[in-house]
Amino acid sequence: MNIGNLIVKDGVLLAPLAGVSNRPFRVLSIKAGAAFTYTEMISSEGIIRNQDRTKEMMGFKPDEQPIGIQLFGSDPKVMEQAAAITVKEFNPDLIDINFGCPVKKVVSKNGGSAILRDLALTEDIIKGTVAGAGDTPVTIKIRTGWDEANPVFEKVGEIAQRAGAKAVSLHARSRAKGFSGNADWNSIKKLKQAVDITVIGNGDIKTPQDVIRMKEETGCDGVMIGRAAMGNPFIFQQINHYLKTGDLLENPSMREKIEMARLHAQLMKEQFGEERGAKMMRRYLGWYIKGFRGASELRPILFGANTIQDIDSVFEDYLNNKLDILAHEKNNIDKKIN
C-alpha cells in the first residue's frame, strides 16, 4: 500500500488510540506484526508551546517504525506550525490529522470530529498541515460525519485529496454513534469510489476473516484496527498468518496472555518508571485478563499494585494458584444464591 512516497507492507495498521498507543503498546504491536503504528493524538497547541508532556508523547525509536504522529487542533496556522516542528524535531514517517475523535472534551474545543461540521475549516487545516509537513506525507482520520443525518465523508475525502493529503482512514460510524451499533462498511466503499488517494477502512475488525471481508466488500487499500488490539497484540500475528496461509492460529492461552501482560508491564517500567508505569498499566491489565477464571477478583488485586514488580508478583502467584481467588468466587456465588 502506498501513502504518497511511503510504502507500507502488507498487514493491518494499529489505529491511534488516545491514552493507549504509547511506546510500550506500539512496540508490542510491531513485534506481533502490525504494519504501521501511530502515536496518541497530540495537541498542536501543546507542540507550539513546547510543553514537556506533549513532546514526551511524540517521542519514538526505530523499533516502532514505520510510525505516524497524529495531530489535532482547530487553528490552521497552529497546525501548520505544529507540523513543521514535528517534522524537524521528530521526523515521523507521516503526519495524521485527527478529524474523528468523538470524546466530549476534544469536540468541546472544536477538535476531532467537531471539525467535520465546518468543511471550509477542514480544508484549511489540511492545507496548513500539508504546508508545514513539507515532503512528509499527511493523512487524515475521520468519521462518516457529526451525526447520521449529515454524512460528509465523501466530501471530506475529496477535500483531502484536493488539499494534498495522501490517504484517508475512515471509521465507519458517525460521531453521534460513538462505538455503538455496527460500522457501516458501505461508507468505506463509497469513499473509495469517490477519491483516488489511499483509503484505509476502520471499524468492527475483530477477526482475521474480517480483514479479508472488509477488503472484498469495500475495495479499500488498507485496514486499521484499534479496540481489537487492546490487551490482544496477538491479533496482528493471527491476521498475518491468515493472510499468508489461509489458516487460523489458535487463540492465545491464559499463560500466553499473562506473559504478554508481564512483558508489557516491563516495557511500561522502562518508559515511565516503577510507580508511574504501574498506574498507567492498570487499564491494560483489565483487557489482558478479560475472560480469566476469577477475573473480577483478580482485577482489584492487580489494580492495587503500586509497582511493576508488584504486578509481576501477582501474576506469578495467580499462575501458581497462590491467590485465594476461587474461594472468593465461591463466596460471591453463595451470597447471590442466599
**Phi, psi (rounded to 5 degrees) for 86:** -60, -45
Tens-digit pLDDT profile for residues 104-117? 667 666 677 788 88
Give yes or no: 101 in active site.
yes
Nearest in space to 203 (alpha carbons), one of 187, 186, 225: 225
Task: Say how many C-beta atoms besides its own lie within 10 A of residue 176's C-beta.
Answer: 16
Q: How many helices (H) and strands (E) does the chain have?
A: 15, 10
Q: Concatenated DSSP letters for 247-299? A: -PPPPPPHHHHHHHHHHHHHHHHHHH-HHHHHHHHHHHHHHHTTT-TTHHHHH
Q: Do residues 160 and 191 touch, judged by C-beta distance below 8 A?
A: no
pLDDT at 11: 85
Residues of the chain with pLDDT > 70, as a percent, come to 93
- Quickly state the pLDDT bin for 179 (edges 50, 70, 90): confident
Tens-digit pLDDT profile for residues 117-158? 899 999 999 999 999 999 999 999 999 988 888 899 999 999
Fold match flag (2-245 vs 254-332): no
CA distance 335 to 85: 59
For domain 254-332, give its CATH number from 1.10.287, 1.10.10, 1.10.1200, 1.10.357.
1.10.1200
Average pLDDT over residues 33-45: 95
pLDDT at 109: 66
Q: Where are the domains of the chain?
A: 2-245, 254-332
**pLDDT over 50 (residue 30):** yes
Given the residues 101, 183, 239, 289, the one annotated as active site: 101
What cell does 54 get? 506533549
Query: In sequence order, what E strands does 85-147 have?
Result: 94-99, 138-143
CATH class of the domain comprising 2-245:
alpha beta
**pLDDT over 70 (residue 335):** no
